[in-house]
Amino acid sequence: MLKIGITGGIGSGKTVVCRLFAVLGVPVYDADTRAKWVMRHDPVLRHELIAAFGPEAYLPSGEQDRLYLARRVFNDPAQLERLNGIVHPRVGQDFADWAAAQQQAGHAYVLKEAALLYESGSYKQLDRIITVFAPQALRQQRVLRRDPHRTPDDVLSIIGKQLSEEEKRQRADFVLYNDDQQMLLPQVLALHEKIQALAGAATV
């Protein structure tokens, strides 16, 4: 079974692409959603986060206080690296366990969706990488429509902390263009067939 990563900058449309693959029967691991789950339910991770960032890292309900952690790390690279160094290995193990279950179920390949696939180092767990590309101006428009609480400066700040789109495209094995110029569905269907063929060849 092949493990395929899918990434792209904020507003590129990774989630839309993953929904199309899911309709085709491909299991999709949403790293952001699973990270939230692991941060709440993994007792080792919870202990490490409280030790590193204080009891304020969690709300009385048991939910992780994302706003508090965001304030602590957003403009402090050292603290962000510390947070990622705690969280990413635990999420990586969660993905490995999930992927093993999908392999047992007989799937030819799975997708791992993550905005920070390269930045986190989790690309090293994967066989191939897809990047979803859209021009920056279009991505900014999409995010501002989707998240009305954000300002243009907020979006630019997030973009500035992510790997450039050009580098993502250079490092990717496959590129899907979600630029409102090329139809997305035919690209996904063609790539699905190609990955299935690769997965079949890998099992021979």
Buried b (16+ CB within 10 A) or exposed e, 149-163: eeeeeebeebbeebb
d(CA 157, CA 96): 31
Alpha-helical runs (H) found in 31-183: 31-41, 43-53, 66-73, 77-104, 136-146, 152-160, 165-171
Instruction: Tell me which H or E stretch contains 14.
Output: helix 14-23
Report the predicted TM-score, pTM, of the whole model to 2 decimal places.
0.86
Q: Determine whether the annotation assigns residue 151 to a binding site.
A: no
**Residue-range definition of the domain harbouring residue 48:** 40-106
Task: Specify the pLDDT at position 96.
Answer: 94
d(CA 47, CA 43): 6
Which of 85, 106, 127 represents a domain boundary (last residue)?
106
Q: In sequence order, what DSSP letters do the residues of 164-198 get, joined into one string?
A: PHHHHHHH-SEEEE-SSSS-HHHHHHHHHHHHHHH
* pLDDT at 204 > cutoff 70: no
Task: Specify the pLDDT at position 156.
Answer: 87
Residues near 26 by beta carbon (within 8 Å), at least 6 away in sequence: 107, 109, 110, 111, 192
Task: Specify the pLDDT at position 15.
Answer: 92
* pLDDT at 203 > cutoff 70: no
d(CA 36, CA 182): 34
Q: Do 18 and 97 belong to one domain?
A: no
Q: What is the count of structural domains for the chain?
A: 2
DSSP summary character for residue 116? T
Q: Determine whether the annotation assigns residue 85 to a binding site.
A: no
CATH number at residue 9: 3.40.50.300
Q: Determine whether the annotation assigns residue 14 to a binding site.
A: yes
Confidence of residue 120 (pLDDT cuts 50, 70, 90): confident
Q: Would you say residue 33 lies in a domain?
A: no
Q: Do 100 and 131 belong to one domain?
A: no
Residue 15: strand, helix, or coil:
helix
The mean pLDDT of the chain is 91
Task: Specify the pLDDT at position 36.
Answer: 87
| Stretch 189-198: mean pLDDT | 96
Which of 88, 106, 124 represents a domain boundary (last residue)?
106
Q: Determine whether the annotation assigns residue 11 to a binding site.
A: yes
Q: Would you say residue 35 lies in a domain?
A: no
Q: Do 121 and 182 belong to one domain?
A: yes
Task: Specify the pLDDT at position 187.
Answer: 97
How confident is the model over 13-49, as pLDDT tens digits?
999 999 999 999 999 999 989 988 998 889 999 999 9
Q: Do 72 and 116 belong to one domain?
A: no
d(CA 11, CA 132): 10
Q: Do 100 and 113 belong to one domain?
A: no
* pLDDT at 168 > cutoff 80: yes
Which of 106, 134, 152 represents a domain boundary (last residue)?
106
